[in-house]
Amino acid sequence: MELTPKADAMLSPALREFNNYKLSIQNRSQLTVDEYLLDLRIFFKFIKAVRENKPTDGEEFYAISLRDCDFAFMDGVTADEIYDFLSYLRFDRSISARSAQRKLSAVKSLYKFATITGKVKNNPARDIDHSASKKTLPKFMTLNESEDLLNSINEEKENKTKLRDYAIILTFLNTGMRLSELVSINMEDFDRDMTSLVVTGKRSKQRTVYINDAVKDAILNYRDSLNEEQRAVSDEKSKSRHPVFISNRNTRISNKTVQWLVHKHLINAGLGYKQLSTHKLRHTAATLMYREGGVDVRVLQDILGHEQLNTTQIYTHVASSDMEDAVHRNPLANFKPSDDKKDG
């Protein structure tokens, strides 16, 4: 029997005690506490998903168990992970700043309870104020780092899935697709010239995604490398649709496999320290289009499939290094007043 979200949250030992504390000691209403529990359920699942290299959306995400989310688990959470959670809420789940603030309040309340009662020693949420839910910027790779990643894959000699992996990561970096969108692509989704395709995003909304020659060539090179049986692999629900990217078991590639291969190639390219993932490749694509390509923010909104412009506008703030560089390039940047003393 499938658990309700509240029942799922109550599987966590820490959340069970938090629930009892709020109800009995602080005399909060059950409705208020339930809202806290649902927000904290997402928080715990996100932390576990990132640590275990699992998808951060879809059925696999919600199936993550909370049974081991006790106070020892809480003690190991870092402030950086909380900032990543806020970034995930804003840019992957496209929720409002107000909703992100509410979830941050839940996290802060949980840690306040845990530290006051001596359940945990570390409170990573203590110094995170509510403005963080508005100002959190997405993690991304620079242009040079993106090129290093692609070159690293292309230079591998003993990787049977090199062409597939290269095509997947190049598609992420050029289109900004979501993970769920990329794994769902079928060959039939492309137009005749293979310059665009239709993807199905959040809430089953469809949009057109345009692809450039680099992506087109990478996908065609990968498909040409497949044998006849592999090219004939069809969707489980519709035999007339053929997945673009397939697994070693001749099935549609899974979210988990893509998460794993992205993680592997980031490490191989020396970028493992950045703690990037598939959804951060989406951020990289958006940032590169805005910073390097000069793409208008409203066009970027349509490319990414954002419902609200304010979700996309975060990418207008990631160019702080460019602004800093511009200041240093000012002709007066090295100006010093003359030491000469003049009469009068």
Give the phi and the psi of residue 243 in degrees, each rounded to 5: -55, 140
Which of 90, 223, 291, 306 is flagged as catalytic? 306
> Exactly one of 6, 16, 102, 202 is catalytic; which is it?
202
Catalytic entry in 45, 90, 279, 280: 279
The closest alpha carbon to 142, from 331, 321, 323, 6, belongs to: 321
Exactly one of 41, 252, 282, 283 is catalytic; which is it? 282
Q: Is 306 a catalytic residue?
A: yes
Of 178, 223, 265, 283, the catalytic one is 178
Annotated catalytic, 282?
Answer: yes
Q: How far apart are the first and last CA of the chain?
A: 92
Q: β-pairing, 206-210 with 196-200?
A: antiparallel
Q: Clarify whether 178 is annotated catalytic.
A: yes
* Residue 202 is a catalytic residue: yes
Nearest-angstrom CA–CA distance, 80 and 101: 16
Distance CA 135, CA 314 (A): 8
Active site residues: 178, 202, 279, 282, 306, 315
